[in-house]
Amino acid sequence: MDFDRKIKYLDHIVDGERVRGAGFVRAEVRDRSCHIIIQVRGLHGTDHFEKPVLLVYGEKECELCRIQISEGKGSTGELALDSRYLGTDRISYHEIDEIRIPIAAGRELKCRWKEKDTPSGTERRVQEAPELQAADNLEDVTGETPGRDFESEAVVSSAPEPELPAKAPCFPLEDKWSQLSEIYPHVYPFEDEREYLALGPSDFVIFPSAYYRLVNNSFLLHGYHNYEHLLLGRTEKKGQVRYYVGVPGNYYEKEKQVAVMFGFESFECRSEPAGQGDYGYYMMRVEL
């Protein structure tokens, strides 16, 4: 069975330099069925145009479709395609190296699609951490565990640990979120007004040192190795600001039970309540 699921984030490139994040490309392939959606956000409010979405393969490229940008944002909608015949050159999904959208002279949106060669016709597999493989043996875990000490229960993953830089970047506390918003890509995984920043475990130096232990959180690493990204979100209610790290995954009762064991307190997806198999993010509250 040929299966792949990816979310890749678009960079806004100006004269060869990355300016900021500018949306995402999400794809899911099952055998010959390929579903792709491209969401662009965060361009100039004066940007109004229609541009081609190009698939780069080797030294060649071909047009996949066109995207309409209005007031700096736009979407292709969900494209239902045959994974064997994409774009005007009818290339295979597994041949894609990059996806780019030329905007103007010296400006483009781009994401690197293929990190390394993956044999065509094989199922993408990620080794599960031992405690996730043992989830079927859980019997007494409930969704609500008040007062539980998750830190003392954390199991170190056998996967290689992400290395933290020797020194964390220094931000003025009152302006830290604004500074991070200038550095990290802005993403809209639910295709609505909810906005997040995309990051990885090696970026956890932005948190107080007490949160560095999260780079050993097996549930977090499992989700990151599957989907190659994490989220950082900010909410404000009644003047109270909260921050959350989101780990991508699908909602299942046993998966939720394991998430709770590792300190994740909620699940957020496109619609509420979440249904079995819905794609979304297991959320953990953190401090900046």
What's the pLDDT at 115?
Answer: 67
Looking up residue 35, the CATH number of its domain turns out to be 2.60.40.200
Please indicate, yes or no, whether residues 150 and 219 belong to a single structural domain of this protein: yes
What's the pLDDT at 171?
Answer: 52
What interhelical angle do 218-227 and 253-261 show, nearest 10? 130
Would residue 121 count as lying in a domain?
no
Contact indicator for 9, 23 with CB cutoff of 8 Å: yes
Read off the pLDDT of each residue in 83-112 and give the average, rounded to a whole number: 94
SS3 track for 15-35: CCEEEEEEEEEEEEEECCEEE
Last residue of a domain, one of 78, 112, 146: 112
Last residue of a domain, one of 112, 139, 154: 112
pLDDT at residue 87 tops 90:
yes
Please indicate, yes or no, whether residues 87 and 140 belong to a single structural domain of this protein: no
- Compare 171 and 146 and report the one with higher pLDDT: 171
pLDDT at residue 186 tops 90:
no
Contact indicator for 49, 34 with CB cutoff of 8 Å: no
What's the pLDDT at 174?
Answer: 53
pLDDT at residue 133 tops 80:
no
pLDDT at residue 103 tops 70:
yes
Rank 36-40, 52-56, 151-155, 156-160 by mean pLDDT and report only the highest: 52-56
- Segment 197-215, tens digit of pLDDT: 988 888 888 898 889 889 8
Please indicate, yes or no, whether residues 65 and 188 belong to a single structural domain of this protein: no
Cα 20 off chain centre by: 16
The C-alpha atoms of residue 231 and residue 276 are separated, in whole angstroms, by 22
- Segment 229-269, tens digit of pLDDT: 899 999 988 888 999 999 999 999 999 999 999 999 999 99
Would residue 134 count as lying in a domain?
yes
- Segment 63-82, tens digit of pLDDT: 999 999 998 889 998 899 99
Cα 142 off chain centre by: 27
pLDDT at residue 36 tops 60:
yes
